[in-house]
Amino acid sequence: MGSDRRYFGTDGIRGKVGQPPMTPEFVLKLGWAVGRVLASEGRGLVLIGKDTRISGYMLESCLQAGLSAAGVDIRLVGPMPTPAIAYLTRTLRASAGIVISASHNPYDDNGVKFFSKDGFKLDDAVEMAIEAALERPVEVVPSRRLGKAERIDDATGRYIEFCKSTIPAADALHGLKIVVDCANGATYSSAPYVFKELGAEVIMVGAAPDGLNINKDCGATAPQRLADAVLSNQADLGIALDGDGDRLIMADHTGEIVDGDEALFIIAEGEYREGRLKGGVVGTQMSNLGLELALRRYGIPFERAAVGDRYVLERMQQKGWTLGGESSGHIICLDRTTTGDGIVAALQVLHEIVTTGRSLHDLKQGMQKLPQSLVNVPLTERIDVTRLPRVREAVRTVESALADRGRVLLRPSGTEPLIRVMVEGQDGGEVQRYAEQIADAVREAADGDGLAMAASS
How crowded is residue 181: how many other Cβ atoms within 10 Å of its Cβ?
A: 30
Alpha-carbon distance 60 to 48, whole Å?
7
Residue 152: strand, helix, or coil: coil
Q: Residue 429 is which amino acid? A: G
Alpha-carbon distance 317 to 34, whole Å?
25
- Burial pattern 374-407, b for ≥16 Cβ within 10 A else e, equals ebebebeeebebeebebbeebbeebbeebeeebb
Alpha-carbon distance 334 to 324, whole Å?
8
**CA torsion through residues 139, 46, 313, 226, sign:** positive
Residue 48: strand, helix, or coil: strand
For the chain, how many residues are written?
A: 457
Residue 252: strand, helix, or coil: strand
Q: Residue 102 is which amino acid? A: A
Alpha-carbon distance 286 to 284, whole Å?
5
Per-residue three-class SS string for 443-456: HHHHCCHHHHHHHH
Indicate if 103 belongs to the active site: yes
DSSP-derived secondary structure letter, 371: P
Q: Cα Rg for the chain, rounded, in angstroms?
A: 23
Which one of the listed residues 101, 103, 189, 287 is annotated catalytic? 103
Tell me if 50 sits within 8 A of 99, measured CB to CB: yes
Q: How far is CA 166 from CA 3, 326, 420, 434, in A?
A: 38, 20, 38, 44
Alpha-carbon distance 238 to 223, whole Å?
9
Active site residues: 103
